[in-house]
Structure 1
């Protein structure tokens, strides 16, 4: 790294990309300390005997971070800045729900395999953790939240092996570790995982008294009507307000084995055209994956949805449903007022729900609400 993570953060403040905030700065100092420890740990190469024994200084791995606090305080933003800044081999950033879905897929694959069939009592956890340990040394989780009993009963063994292998975890959450799986069934069996998490991560509260995301969206209109220079300028202002005027970078997202290119993104905000988002062969599962990467969607040039755009209209309905259920924020330019946007009899009934949700999504109550966990199901994964 050319300069420390704190220096990188301070430059963003100096450039007025971020507002100065003492609580955020304290968290950044913790990130900076972790970055230095990770760099040192990465530079320590195992000796001959350690290589023979398969050891990789796992016992010397630094303590990770678990950062919790209310919505809109900047937890995810700071973690993403850290993740993008640090030069650590084998790092991964993933939404916690998405990660656990991959774990369950791995367990199911093991049980269907010959090794799994040979002995029904064989533990699938080593099979699932092996590729993670091989590919990842720093694992960054967004929205760490446990409400499923299957996950709750699995986490202690799963993370026990990951931590034993020296994997370092950074996580953001709306609740402290002791608030995870609160009042859940058989919670006493989950308590050892809480203790493990508190041992392997430094628990920090981001105690900021401002919901920056809500404030930035409340300061100006977020819907614009007409595809003209005025609407374009309006969306530009929303982008600049949310990202501090950053240019934004292209990012490639894996959608079920396909690469989807987001043309412009920064600080959890994506900007994209309607055509790329709703005229491409995407479905609810894809939109859900995108909603785990970005908290705010800025969409340019949503057209009049007549019968000639019936498929695109169906995808737009799926997109709005997904964003609404997740609590993601939306800013967009529309070809017509909302109640005049649809002219397709085939989607007229469904679009009434979409219209209602679009109206609600610009309300102050919605803008101040947190993101929600949404599980992927067969019902909502059908492509159009």
Structure 2
């Protein structure tokens, strides 16, 4: 069976599909608070479960008075889950989404910014302002414009009575540090932070607990053989990197929909930050869908250079490295 080639795909997503697609990714379809396993030596994990479970009850059965009501002069509030990689923040966020009645929305930062680009700001506010919950995963800043856009969007939704919850690896008042001149946006960042109660979720990255090192790169012949499986894809790493430049990141999910595994030929360290950030988004979409990854070339933990791992986007790159190594292990398990 001939292999699929991601570079030959040209996914198109319309505005209605974007709205309907604001749900947790397939990897998190079945997660619930009851399936989260807090580490006994990390009390903040159990505290987060307790707080978010109570928050879900509040959303489902709002009190007549108090902070979290949907009418009156007091705006709705929300939670901000802060912590390192692989501590289960996305599990908790998806569990909250599953625990509350609709209408509700769940998406990554980039999915919401693209929604505004597709619908316009006023229409996005109109469509989401009747929701009980808007959940934002991976709240990380790519540029100052997106910072201001999301601050304004979430602020207006909160004022409309929408409950908010977000995850990130950075506390709200630290967003933007090391990426751009945060001083110019301190007021917007502070205003956004004031909308949330922060929940710290501590612990080591569960994806690497007790696991063997990342699998070594394969030979090209092994990749070709693996790509004969139904639904498997095979692409040159350089060609796929070029393909990503032609697509908006919101389309990366559709790019890999229905793919059973991804084979990458001749992986090399990225020397361009824009290309590296696009790979972060693609890796996230692969991880969402639990798609195994095999590769030749350099080891997959060398995609992002030491300079990138020490720079302003280091948390994005470290999360992406953690996720692609988990997918590489899935390919040999």
Shared fold (TM-score greater than 0.5)? yes
TM bin (shorter chain): 0.5 to 0.7
1:194 — aligned with what? Answer: 189
**Alignment partners' CA distance in 2, 1:322 and 1:153:** 21
Structure 1 residue 171, shift from structure 2 partner: 0.5
2:105 — aligned with what? Answer: 92
Pairing 1:133–2:91 present? no
Gapped runs of 5+ residues in structure 2?
1-30, 237-242, 267-274, 319-333
Pairing 1:76–2:95 present? no
Q: 1:26 pairs with 33, 42, 47, which one?
A: 47
**Alignment partners' CA distance in 2, 1:320 and 1:299:** 24
Pairing 1:371–2:316 present? yes
Question: Under a length normalisation based on structure 2, what TM-score does the superposition of the two structures give?
Answer: 0.57
Equivalence map 1:132-211=2 (5 Å): 132-134=128-130, 136-182=131-177, 187-188=182-183, 190-208=185-203, 210-211=204-205
**Alignment partners' CA distance in 1, 2:141 and 2:189:** 11
Q: 1:40 pairs with 36, 42, 61, which one?
A: 61
Over 3 Å counting, the alpha-carbon distance change for 1:221 and 1:93 in structure 2 is same
Residues 114-163 of structure 1, C-alpha deviations (whole Å, 9 max, x = no match): xxxxxxxxxxx5444222214x3311111112241222344444333211
Q: 1:9 pairs with 24, 33, 40, which one?
A: 33
Gapped runs of 5+ residues in structure 1?
1-6, 45-54, 108-124, 232-271, 306-318, 339-354, 374-384
**Alignment partners' CA distance in 1, 2:279 and 2:142:** 20
**Alignment partners' CA distance in 2, 1:357 and 1:287:** 27
Residues 191-230 of structure 1, C-alpha deviations (whole Å, 9 max, x = no match): 333333333211122222x121233654674878899xxx
**Alignment partners' CA distance in 1, 2:231 and 2:72:** 45
Contact 1:58 1:164 in 2 (8 A): no
Contact 2:138 2:168 in 1 (8 A): yes
Residues 221-255 of structure 1, C-alpha deviations (whole Å, 9 max, x = no match): 4878899xxx9xxxxxxxxxxxxxxxxxxxxxxxx
Q: Which has the larger radius of gyration?
A: 1
Equivalence map 1:202-221=2 (5 Å): 202-208=197-203, 210-215=204-209, 217-218=211-212, 221=215
Question: Under a length normalisation based on structure 1, what TM-score does the superposition of the two structures give?
Answer: 0.50
Equivalence map 1:262-273=2 (5 Å): 273=231
Secondary structure of 1:140's counterpart equals strand
**Alignment partners' CA distance in 2, 1:177 and 1:192:** 12
**Alignment partners' CA distance in 1, 2:301 and 2:189:** 40
**Alignment partners' CA distance in 2, 1:275 and 1:82:** 34
**Alignment partners' CA distance in 2, 1:202 and 1:357:** 40
Residues 17-40 of structure 1, C-alpha deviations (whole Å, 9 max, x = no match): x76543321111111111111011
Over 3 Å counting, the alpha-carbon distance change for 1:132 and 1:183 in structure 2 is same
Q: CA RMSD in A?
A: 4.9
**Alignment partners' CA distance in 2, 1:80 and 1:132:** 18
